[in-house]
Amino acid sequence: MGICGTAMGNAALLLRSAGHEVMGSDTGIYPPMSNVLKEAGIETFEGYDPLRLNALKPDRVVIGNAMSRGNSEVEWLLDTRTFSYSSLPEILAELVLNDRCNIVVCGTHGKTTTTALSAFLLLKNGRDPGYLIGGVPRDLPQGCHLGVTKDPFVIEGDEYDSAFFDKRSKFIHYLPHIAVLNNLEFDHADIFRDLLDVKRTFTHLTRIVPRNGFIVMNGDDDNLKSLADCSWTKLIRVGVDDSNDVKISSFSESLTGVSFELSFRGKAWGKVEWQLPGIYNARNAAMAATAAGLAINSSDPTVLDLSSLALYKGVQRRQEILVNTTHLKVIEDFGHHPTAILETLKSLRARYPNAKLACVFEPRSNTARIKTLEAEFERAFAQADEVYLGPVHRIDKLEVANRFDTRAVASRLNAQGRFAQAFPSNGELLLKLKADTLTFLSGERVVTFFSNGSFDGIISDFARTAKA
C-alpha cells in the first residue's frame, strides 16, 4: 500500500528481485516510478479497494507510513484480520536484511547522499553491495539493488516513524552492523517533541549495534557527542577536529571544485578532488568511505580506494545545477532544514564569490510549516542577497499562531539589508522570478530553489524560461 513512494517502490523492486511476487496500490500512479515497477513485472492498482484486496489473497500486506486510519483497505484489514500486515521496515528486516552486514546511514542531514556514496564506493572497490536509497542516484542504475549476501547492504536509516501502528523510528528495524551517525538536530516536529526526544531514538539505535560492529559518528557534532556511552561496540569518530579517528583536512572550495584530504589515526588515506560542494559533502564522503572501508577490513578502512570519488556525480535534487551560463546558475536542492540551507548557501558563497545569491524557499515539510525553527530559517536565509518565500504548504491545516510567518520573516530580512519577499501563491512567485530574469542576466546570479516537494512545478518552469 503506497507502492509509488520512493522508499516503497524501491522496496517492492528489492522484494521482486529476491523472488517474491509483488503488486501494490496507490493514488496518483505516474512516472517515473510507475514505469520502473511495470518493467520489473510489478502490477499496480489505482486507489484502494478492500474487495480487490480480498480477491488478490496476498500472503502479506505491507503498509506504507503514508497510510493512516480511515483508509478503506486499512480499516478492512483491521476489521477482518483476513491477512497479516507489516510496516515497510519490518518486511525489509525479515526478508532482506536479516542475513546481511548492514550499513545503516542515519542523521538529520545527508542520509541519501551518504548512502549513495557508500554503495558507489563499494561497487568501485569490486564489491556487489545491496542498497536502498531514498532518492535518485546519478551514479547507480537505480535506487535499489539486492547485491550478493556476502557483501554489505547499505540502507538509508530514517528516524521518521515506521507506520501508523508502529511509531518507532524506521532505523530501529534495520539490524545495523555499522551505524553511521552523520549529525543530529531537532526535526520532524510532528513526530518528536524536542531535541531530547530525537536524541532518545538515536540512543536506542546505538544500543542495537553488536559488539563486532561499529558506530561511525560525526565527531564534530555536539549533539551526537552528548549521546549515552557506546562502550558495548567500537566507535569511530570522523571530522575536522584533531581528536577524530578519521580526519578531514586541507579543505578548499572554488569555482573549479572541491579538494580535501583524509587520514586515519595519523595514517594518510588519500586526497579527494571532486565536484560536490561544501564541507558537509566532504564529511558525507568521509563517513561513507569509513563505513565502506570498515565493512571490507574491520581494522583498517584505508584499504578502500578513494580515487573513484573524482567521478561521483551525486543524487538528483541535491545541489543539482539545472541552468549553467556565464550570468546565471539555477540550482535545485532538497534542503528543508535551516542548517542544510545555511551550509548550502555558505558553500555557494565560496564557490561563486562574485555572484549575488538568490534563495527561493518552499515551507513544505512538517517542521518548516510551523514556527518552531522560524528564527533559524531566518538566520539561514540571511546568507543570501535575495530571498523569495513561497506560501506555507497546506496552511489551512495549521493554527494561525503556529504557522511559519513568511511575511514577518521577509520583513525582518529586508530590515537587515536583504531583498526579501513573501508570496501568497507559487504561481505569483514564479511570475516575479520570470520578471526578474533580465535583471539576473545583467550581472551574475545563483538562484537556488529549496524544497522537499514539488514546489508546484515552478522550478522546472523557471529553468526552461532561463534557458530560453
Residues 194 and 332 in one domain: no
Residues 146 and 230 in one domain: yes
Percent of the chain at pLDDT exceeding 70? 99
Grade residue 289 by pLDDT with cuts at 50, 70 and 90.
very high
Give the model confidence (pLDDT) of 303-349 as tens digits: 999 999 999 998 877 888 999 998 899 999 988 899 999 999 999 99
Q: State the CB neighbour count (10 A cutoff) for residue 52.
A: 12
Condensed to tens digits (0 to 9), the pLDDT of residues 177-187 reads 999 999 998 88
Domain residues for the domain of 189 are 99-311
Which pLDDT belongs to residue 141? 87
pLDDT confidence band for 388 (50 / 70 / 90): very high
Question: Of 34, 56, 88, which one is at a domain's C-terminal end?
Answer: 88
Q: Which residues contact 141 (CB under 8 A, 6 or more apart)?
A: none
Which pLDDT does position 193 carry in this prediction?
87
**Radius of gyration of the chain measured on its C-alpha atoms:** 22
In sequence order, which residues have a C-beta less than 8 Å from that of residue 450 and are 6 or more positions away? Answer: 333, 334, 335, 336, 341, 344, 359, 360, 361, 362
Q: Which pLDDT band holds residue 56 (cuts at 50, 70, 90)?
A: very high
Of these ranges, 124-133, 427-436, 438-447, the one predicted with the greatest mean pLDDT is 124-133
Q: Is the pLDDT of residue 48 over 90?
A: yes
Is the same domain home to 283 and 371? no
Whether residue 238 sits in one domain with residue 149 = yes
pLDDT at 441: 66
CATH number for 36: 3.40.50.720
Predicted pLDDT at 440: 66
Q: How far apart (Å, rounded) are the C-alpha atoms in residues 67 and 51?
A: 18
pLDDT at 30 over 80: no
Residue 210 grid coordinates? 553488536
Nearest CA among 152, 139, 151 for reference residue 179: 152
143: domain CATH number? 3.40.1190.10
343 and 306 in a common domain: no
Asked if residue 341 is part of any domain, the answer here is yes
Place of cell 571544485: 257
* Mean pLDDT, all residues of the chain: 93
Is the residue at 1 inside a domain? Answer: no
User: 311, 328, 362 — which closes off a domain?
Assistant: 311
Would you place residue 35 in the very low, low, confident or very high pLDDT band (cuts 50, 70, 90)? confident
Domain check: are 78 and 105 in the same one?
Answer: no
396 falls within a domain: yes
Does residue 114 carry a pLDDT above 90? yes
The answer on 352 and 425 residing in a single domain is yes
Q: Which of 269, 286, 311 is the last residue of a domain?
A: 311
Task: Place 192 in a pLDDT band, splitting at 50, 70 and 90.
Answer: confident
Alpha helices in 220-296 (DSSP H): 222-225, 278-296
Residues 141 and 273 in one domain: yes
Domain annotation covers residue 199? yes
Number of domains the chain contains = 3
Q: Is the dihedral of CA 343, 345, 350, 351 positive or negative?
A: positive
User: pLDDT by residue (tens digit) across 433-453?
Assistant: 988 877 766 778 999 999 988
Please check whether residues 17 and 66 belong to one and the same domain: yes
Q: For the chain, give the percent of residues with pLDDT over 90.
A: 78
In a domain, 93, yes or no: no
Q: 280 and 327 in one domain?
A: no
Model pLDDT, residue 90: 97
